[in-house]
């Protein structure tokens, strides 16, 4: 059984995913059905980075809370925080993570720390837009005002953020996924 999607496509058909990963594509079923799979890496890097920063700005300025209050018929302005000088931890320093670091650092004056899984990635992804790139989860998360996740959906990354890692965050920190 190869599933309705894979069975509906002819052998040699193409399943193209608009985005970076192959999340949600059963590559074994596609192979069995003779369906070719492709994606479009790089196409959405800037868009995802901009949306990430929109979420960071929304959190910093309490936009969701003010929106909810306005929809409830109340005008309850909330004091937000400025992003300049705040620490953003970018988990995953690939193309999108680097784009977020560039916008956060150069556009908002944030201190950006890259968090990667292996020491080999610290030099491989070295980038001037990061104040540092580290594998030290406790140190990075312990300094965070904001954390953004930009890692592939894979078995080894499943539950990377969990109760233990959340406990490392300061009470002031926001997690942007």
**pLDDT, tens digit (0-9, with 9 covering 90-100), for 38-76:** 988 888 999 999 999 999 999 999 999 999 999 999 998
Percent of the chain with pLDDT over 70: 95
What is the overall mean pLDDT for the chain? Answer: 91
Mean pLDDT for the stretch of residues 104-119: 94
pTM of the predicted protein model: 0.85
Render pLDDT for 86-101 as a digit per residue (tens, 0 to 9).
999 999 999 999 999 9
Given a contact cutoff of 8 angstroms between Cβ atoms, the answer to whether 117 and 140 are in contact is: no
pLDDT grade for 1, boundaries at 50, 70 and 90: very low
Q: Cα separations (Å) of 48 from 40, 97, 131, 176?
A: 13, 9, 21, 12
Beta-strand pair 174-176/14-17:
unpaired
The confidence score (pLDDT) of residue 52 equals 98
pLDDT at 2: 56
């Amino acid at each position: 059984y190869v599933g309705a999607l894979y069975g509906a496509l002819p052998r040699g058909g193409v399943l193209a995913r608009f985005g970076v990963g192959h999340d949600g594509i059963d590559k074994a079923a596609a192979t069995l059905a003779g369906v070719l799979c492709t994606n479009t890496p790089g196409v959405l890097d800037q868009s995802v980075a901009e949306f990430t920063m929109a979420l960071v700005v929304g959190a910093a300025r309490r936009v969701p809370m003010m929106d909810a209050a306005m929809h409830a018929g109340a005008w309850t302005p909330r004091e937000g925080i400025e992003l300049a000088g705040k620490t953003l931890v970018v988990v995953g320093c690939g193309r999108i993570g680097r784009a977020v670091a560039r916008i956060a650092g150069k556009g908002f004056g944030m201190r950006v720390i890259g968090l990667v899984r292996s020491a080999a990635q610290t030099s491989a992804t070295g980038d001037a837009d990061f104040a540092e790139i580290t594998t030290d989860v406790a140190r990075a998360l312990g300094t965070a005002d904001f954390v953004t996740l930009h890692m592939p959906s894979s078995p080894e990354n499943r539950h990377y953020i969990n109760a233990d890692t959340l406990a490392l965050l300061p009470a002031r920190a926001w997690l942007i996924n």
